[in-house]
Amino acid sequence: TTNIFQKMGKASSSMWVLGLFCLALIARPVKAITCQEAVIKLLPCESYLRGSGDLTWACCEGTRALNNEAASKADRESVCDCFKRVAPTLGVKDDRAAQLVKECSVDVGMSIGSDMDCTKV
């Protein structure tokens, strides 16, 4: 017969393995958002940001999704730096970028424009 202490030992070992597995899942590094991914999220906003189109539901959804995904300070700084580099080449108008976050009810914690200080996000 198996004694109760041997059964408890097996159960305890199983719990340790399960606990370590859970910790490994929790401690997994979160993938940072790339500049390309950030730009893709805002593709539905392209004509609006250039001043040649209206604000759309898809644009606001992409803006909200990007804001939610860029949860850490490092992610926000990275996205900010990305848009400071990319926006001029895409013809983004500062006033439209600033209006976008207001109209879509997205709080980025700072004013939006080509002169933004990405360390303050």
* C-alpha closest to that of 116 among 63, 89, 76: 76
Q: 35-120 — its CATH code?
A: 1.10.110.10
Average confidence score pLDDT of the chain? 82
Give the 3-state secondary structure percentages of the chain, helix then strand then coil, rounded to 5: 70, 0, 30
pLDDT at residue 105, as a whole number: 94
Q: What is the pLDDT of residues 17-35, one digit of tens each?
A: 444 444 444 444 456 889 9
User: What is the total residue count of the chain?
Assistant: 121
Q: What is the pLDDT of residues 61-77, one digit of tens each?
A: 999 999 999 989 999 99
pLDDT at residue 112, as a whole number: 85
Global pTM reads 0.71
Rounded Cα distance between 106 and 68, Å, is 9
Alpha carbon 50 to its chain's center: 23
